[in-house]
Amino acid sequence: MLFIGFSVAVFGGVTIIAYLNFLIAGHEFRELFSFIVSRPECYALPAGIVIIGTSIFPSGKRRQ
């Protein structure tokens, strides 16, 4: 599960870094932010971080 979360987070992070090239092309940060929020693949970064967190820190009762 940790590997899947890491893979999803890397996919989302690389996508966001690729979209940062729009700043160099002359777009403003507000335009970039609204574009990133509208792209579904950019939600892979927070989803991957949540998957990593749940695999590292599982909820539930601990065994004694």
Cα of 24 vs its chain's centroid, Å: 22
- Per residue in 17-30, pLDDT (tens digit) is 999 888 888 888 89
3-state secondary structure 15-62: HHHHHCHHHHCCCCHHHHHHHHHHCHHHHHHHHHHHHHHHHHCCCCCC
- Per residue in 6-59, pLDDT (tens digit) is 999 999 999 999 998 888 888 888 998 998 999 999 999 999 999 999 999 877
